Amino acid sequence: MPSKRYKKALALVPEKASTLKAAAELIGQFPKTKFDETLDLAFRLGVDPRQSDQMVRGTVPLPHGSGKLVKVLVFAKPGPAAEAAKAAGAEFVGFEDMIKQCNDGWTGFDVAVATPEAMVEVRKLGKVLGPRGLMPNPKTGTVTEDTAKAVKEVKAGRVEFKVDKTGNVHVVVGKASFKPDQIEENARAVIDAIVKARPSSVKGTFIRSVTLSATMSPGIDLDLRALNTAGA
């Protein structure tokens, strides 16, 4: 059964789709929870994820950050790359020791970065890190020699997105405590990134729906026409 707080929030949600600006303002009007809810932008895409040429994946820097403390693991052999990662603020840096811990089931981090050299061994963690979305990938900038840059970008609010097997994409766009204009600007950055990531093989409507929601609150459907994404 929905809680009283949820019902009060649901009563505020309009029947018709909202503009992004209106949705960002409405989030701040929902009854507050005991914690700072995470905001999520959910896309339903007109793609077939089973087709390799219809994969939608990438990264996007959020103008106002994600509001989340991101713990970063860097796989790097002792040397300049490892030292640079530590100096940039990575919580965990190592090679064989980190690989062993991950093999043992440890996943106490949010993002993993690896040098190309380290990836030779890190690839073997595919069955462990892959299902959790933690595998370093060149396409998301997490396989690189410039570990310091990767760590700084992730901690500054760069988020990843990837279509799931049902054709949906979920991306964090901030916290409920953010100001409406911060929510709007973060969400706009994500929407623009998704539009640019449209595979050339996709025919017809690419973005079928977009919904903004908070962890314990109802979703708000966004007006695609107002977002200039219709047919994108």
What average pLDDT score do residues 57-61 get?
A: 90
Tell me what pLDDT residue 135 has. Answer: 94
Name every residue whose Cβ is closer than 8 Å to that of residue 39 and which is 6 or more positions away in sequence.
27, 172, 173, 174, 175, 176, 178, 183, 212, 213, 214
Give the model confidence (pLDDT) of 39-52 as tens digits.
999 999 999 988 98
Q: Quote the percentage of the chain above a pLDDT of 70.
A: 97
The domains spanning 13-65+158-227 and 72-155 adopt the same CATH topology: no
Tell me what pLDDT residue 229 has. Answer: 64
The Cα 22–Cα 64 span in angstroms is 19
> What dotted CATH number matches 72-155?
3.40.50.790
Tell me what pLDDT residue 156 has. Answer: 86
Given the DSSP bridges, would you call strands 72-75 and 111-114 parallel, antiparallel or unpaired?
parallel
Tell me what pLDDT residue 63 has. Answer: 92
Higher-confidence residue of 18 and 68: namely: 18
Tell me the average pLDDT of the chain: 92
Select from 211, 205, 197 the least CA-distant residue to 54. Answer: 197
pTM, rounded to two decimals: 0.78
Tell me what pLDDT residue 147 has. Answer: 97
Helix (H) or strand (E) holding 59: strand 57-61
Give the model confidence (pLDDT) of 3-17 as tens digits.
898 899 989 899 899
Select from 204, 232, 180 the least CA-distant residue to 212. Answer: 180
Strand partners, 170: 42
Select from 156, 143, 89 the least CA-distant residue to 117. Answer: 143
Give the model confidence (pLDDT) of 150-164 as tens digits.
999 999 888 889 999
Tell me what pLDDT residue 231 has. Answer: 53
Tell me what pLDDT residue 46 has. Answer: 94
Sequence ranges of the domains in the chain? 13-65+158-227, 72-155
Enumerate helices (H) and strands (E) in the chain, giving the number of each. 9, 9
Q: Is the domain covering 13-65+158-227 a CATH 3.30.2090.10 domain?
A: no
Instruction: Give the pLDDT band of residue 232 (cuts 50, 70, 90).
Output: low
Reply yes or no on whether the pLDDT at 193 is more than 90: yes
What average pLDDT score do residues 30-35 get?
A: 91
